[in-house]
């Protein structure tokens, strides 16, 4: 497979690129993560979002343990070729490991972070193990 | 001013946090940038997006030279407290230094990055100097 499109990306010194995940239908920003070359190549080939877990130092196939797979509808690159947007169909309507729709569930309000999203499913129910 | 909300953020070793900018009305992801503590504090205080330019090593008051100011309607923090979403009103409808609405104007299509957004205004017209 010709991977010229992968060569165009300006990877960080650690070989990563920031990835913004957006719900295709609602436009809600669901999460922010990082990808390495293998994660992005697999994402494009499989149509399912795959990230690089910096804490676990391994590929992170989103939804592997939670079932909250992200089917990629669009992959976009920015002007500097150093950031990616994935527009996805979020299985289960839950992207966050806390059981919320989006990881960005805190909003600055009167000088404090206010939680504005409900927990849709108990993380203990979602996970046998961890899928962050 | 009490800055306890700033303390909650997990800054990188370089003292930065990734910032995703989204159009408040359309939901379009407009750009991706970085903020340091001063940039985020000024953003919250002024209601206008301020970033940290890693290349220029200085605060970058978005729109200072282009007029394409971003008025912040919402500031959101993610579950790990290490990424920010700004939902903004984009003055001029142009966020990108190339004169396009969004910096994410390239979409992966059949193994190549296809430009899918028109240039709305010639960058030479927008800038006397640079505002990236």
pLDDT 10s digits, A114-130: 999 999 999 999 987 55
B62-88 pLDDT, tens per residue? 999 999 999 999 999 999 999 999 999
B60 or A1, greater pLDDT: B60
User: Quick check: B104 and A78 CB within 8 A?
Assistant: yes
Q: Would you tell me how many other CB atoms lie within 10 Å of the CB of residue A118? A: 9
User: Quick check: B78 and A1 CB within 8 A?
Assistant: no
> Which class for A95: exposed (0-12), middle (13-18), buried (19 or more C-beta within 10 A)?
buried
- pTM: predicted TM-score of the whole model, two decimal places: 0.95
Residues with pLDDT less than 70, chain B: 1-2, 129-132
CA-nearest of B103, B97, B102, B47 to B75 is: B47
Contact status of B85 with chain A (Cβ, < 8 Å)? yes
A55-77 pLDDT, tens per residue? 999 999 999 999 999 999 999 99
Q: What pLDDT, on a 0 to 100 scale, did the predictor assign at position B128?
A: 72
Residue of A nearest to B45 (CA): A111
User: Quick check: A29 and B22 CB within 8 A?
Assistant: yes
Q: What pLDDT, on a 0 to 100 scale, did the predictor assign at position A78?
A: 98
Containing B5, the helix (H) or strand (E) segment is: helix B4-7
What does the radius of gyration of chain A's CA atoms come to, in whole angstroms? 15
Q: What pLDDT, on a 0 to 100 scale, did the predictor assign at position B127?
A: 87
Residue with tokens 């947007």: A85
- Coil vs helix vs strand at A26: coil
d(CA B26, CA A21): 16
CA distance, residue A50 to nearest chain B CA (Å): 16
In chain A, where do the E strands start and end?
Answer: 16-23, 29-36, 50-53, 58-61, 70-77, 84-90, 106-109, 112-115
Q: What pLDDT, on a 0 to 100 scale, did the predictor assign at position A2?
A: 60
Those of residues 21-80 in A touching chain B at CB distance below 8 A are 22, 26-29, 31-32, 44, 74-80
Residues ≥6 apart with Cβ < 8 Å to A112: B4, B5
CA distance, residue A83 to nearest chain B CA (Å): 7
C-alpha distances out from residue A112 to A48, A49, B10, B119, Å: 35, 32, 15, 39
CA distance, residue A31 to nearest chain B CA (Å): 7
A interface test, pick of B27, B79, B106 with most A CB neighbours within 10 Å: B79
pLDDT at A15 over 70: yes
- Cβ–Cβ < 8 Å for A116, A106: yes
As a whole-number percent, the residues of chain A with pLDDT over 90 amount to 92
- The chain-wide mean pLDDT, for chain A, equals 95
């Amino acid at each position: 497979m010709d991977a010229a499109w992968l060569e165009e990306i300006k990877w960080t010194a650690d070989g990563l690129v920031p990835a913004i995940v957006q719900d295709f239908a609602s436009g809600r920003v669901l999460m922010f993560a990082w990808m390495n070359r293998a994660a992005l190549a697999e994402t494009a080939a499989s149509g399912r979002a795959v990230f690089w877990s910096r804490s676990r130092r391994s590929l992170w196939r989103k939804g592997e343990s939670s079932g909250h797979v992200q089917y990629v509808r669009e992959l976009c690159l920015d002007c500097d070729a150093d950031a990616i947007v994935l527009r996805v169909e979020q299985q289960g309507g839950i992207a966050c490991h806390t059981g919320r729709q989006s990881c960005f569930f805190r909003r600055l309000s009167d000088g404090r972070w206010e939680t504005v999203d409900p927990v849709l499913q108990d993380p203990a129910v979602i996970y046998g193990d961890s899928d962050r």
